[in-house]
């Protein structure tokens, strides 16, 4: 999602989010097993006031678990014939400001890289080391390494370097919802210089990891403002993606290359992982359904104050 020019940082801290996914099948589905990551995370700056997940038809089995990243995963199965599946998440969350990043932080890019290599025994450091590795959707990319080199000089302050990289991706790449698919590679995005928030998040991950800097894929929602004088429309928002990068002694700092800014209280965190595959809101396996199916997704983020 890309913020319109009228957006600002003065939104309220409490939001209602509705996220609905509707599958239609040309032939009956006899069995369906699904995984949903549709529960916002509880964080020091984010409180889940209420949450519900409704499924139609009613599932025959359902339970919740936590994945290796700490995301809540809803497992459910339908064992009777059905022509459609509707999954609706409704929640209220309160979001406050994240810990302030000191942009004059003296730690350099090289010092952050070395601290991650030492892998101190703290949980954050182990998670950080894990997030410095290549993944199937964000493999090692020489092109991404070369692109990032201008920003990520070894002796440069880490915060300054990452803010510049965020800005360069925003300036160098065009937001184009029709230019890519979920399978578009980082190198293809670099070649064509266009894409969506998922592409820009994957690109920034590839840039950072190629320089030994840990970063994770952030998934959630972003409050946007309608054009001046226009009402807020329902169902026209979208999921959003940004990047969390690890700074020893501070923790994870969230950068949004799509909108050239740090995450603030408009950003609602749903899940995080090593790449998009770890945070897909809904995925599963079906038996039957014919050769075609349609999927419609609608998202609304509504400020409450």
Segment among 19-23, 234-238, 268-272, 277-281 with least mean pLDDT = 234-238
- pLDDT-derived band at 3 (thresholds 50, 70, 90) equals low
pLDDT > 70: percent of the chain: 90
- pLDDT-derived band at 16 (thresholds 50, 70, 90) equals very high
Whether the per-residue pLDDT at 158 is higher than 60: the answer is: yes
Asked if 112 and 247 count as a contact pair (C-beta separation under 8 A), the reply is yes
Instruction: Quickly count: other Cβ atoms within 10 Å of residue 205's Cβ.
Output: 29
Residue 208 is predicted with a pLDDT of: 98
Reported as a single tens digit per residue, the pLDDT across 96-153 is 999 988 766 679 999 999 988 876 545 555 678 889 999 999 999 999 999 999 999 9
Residue 224 is predicted with a pLDDT of: 83
Whether the per-residue pLDDT at 201 is higher than 50: the answer is: yes
Residue 66 is predicted with a pLDDT of: 97
Distance between CA atoms of residues 141 and 297, nearest Å: 32
User: Stretch 34-38: mean pLDDT, rounded?
Assistant: 97
- pLDDT-derived band at 30 (thresholds 50, 70, 90) equals very high
Asked if 45 and 95 count as a contact pair (C-beta separation under 8 A), the reply is yes
Residue 46 is predicted with a pLDDT of: 97
- pLDDT-derived band at 298 (thresholds 50, 70, 90) equals very high
Angstrom CA distances, 263 to 146, 201, 227, 234, 270, stand at: 26, 13, 21, 23, 13
Whether the per-residue pLDDT at 161 is higher than 80: the answer is: yes
Do you find a cis peptide bond into 57, omega within 30 degrees of 0?
A: yes
Whether the per-residue pLDDT at 31 is higher than 70: the answer is: yes
Residue 162 is predicted with a pLDDT of: 97
Reported as a single tens digit per residue, the pLDDT across 228-263 is 776 665 555 789 999 999 998 889 999 999 999 999
Residue 292 is predicted with a pLDDT of: 83
β pairing state of 282-288 and 14-36:
antiparallel
Whether the per-residue pLDDT at 193 is higher than 70: the answer is: yes
Higher-scoring residue by pLDDT: 45, 121: 45
Q: Which domains does the chain have, with CATH numbers?
A: 15-96+281-303 (2.60.40.2250), 109-278 (3.10.620.30)
- pLDDT-derived band at 291 (thresholds 50, 70, 90) equals confident
User: Stretch 261-282: mean pLDDT, rounded?
Assistant: 96
Average pLDDT, rounded, for the chain: 90
Residue 266 is predicted with a pLDDT of: 93
Segment among 6-15, 74-83, 245-254 with least mean pLDDT = 6-15
Tell me the backbone φ, ψ of residue 52, rounded to 5 degrees.
Answer: -145, 150
- pLDDT-derived band at 2 (thresholds 50, 70, 90) equals low
């Amino acid at each position: 999602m890309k913020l319109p020019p009228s957006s600002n940082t003065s939104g309220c801290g409490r939001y209602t989010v509705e996220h609905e996914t509707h599958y239609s099948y040309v032939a009956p589905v006899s069995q369906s097993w699904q995984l949903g990551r549709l529960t916002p995370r509880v964080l020091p700056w984010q409180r889940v006031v209420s949450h519900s997940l409704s499924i139609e038809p009613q599932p025959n089995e359902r339970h919740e678990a936590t994945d290796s990243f700490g995301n809540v995963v809803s497992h459910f199965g339908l064992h009777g014939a059905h022509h459609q599946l509707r999954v609706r998440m409704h929640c209220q969350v309160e979001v406050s400001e994240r810990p302030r990043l000191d942009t004059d932080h003296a730690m350099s890019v090289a010092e952050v890289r070395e601290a991650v290599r030492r892998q101190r025994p703290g949980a954050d450091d182990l998670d950080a080391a894990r997030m410095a590795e290549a993944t199937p959707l964000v493999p090692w990319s020489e092109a991404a390494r070369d692109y990032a080199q201008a920003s990520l000089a070894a002796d440069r302050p880490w915060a300054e370097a990452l803010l510049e990289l965020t800005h360069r991706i925003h300036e160098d790449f065009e937001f184009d919802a029709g230019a890519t698919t979920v399978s578009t590679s980082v190198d293809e995005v670099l070649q064509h210089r266009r894409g969506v928030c998922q592409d820009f998040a994957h690109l920034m991950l590839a840039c950072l990891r190629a320089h030994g800097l840990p970063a994770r894929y952030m998934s959630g929602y972003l409050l946007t403002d309608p054009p001046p004088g226009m009402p807020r429309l329902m169902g026209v928002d979208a999921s959003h993606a940004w990047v969390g990068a690890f700074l020893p002694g501070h923790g994870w700092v969230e950068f949004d290359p799509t909108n050239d800014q740090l995450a603030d209280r408009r950003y609602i965190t749903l899940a995080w992982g090593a790449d998009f595959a770890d945070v897909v809101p809904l995925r599963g396996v079906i038996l039957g359904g014919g050769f075609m199916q349609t999927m419609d997704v609608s998202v609304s983020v509504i400020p409450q104050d």
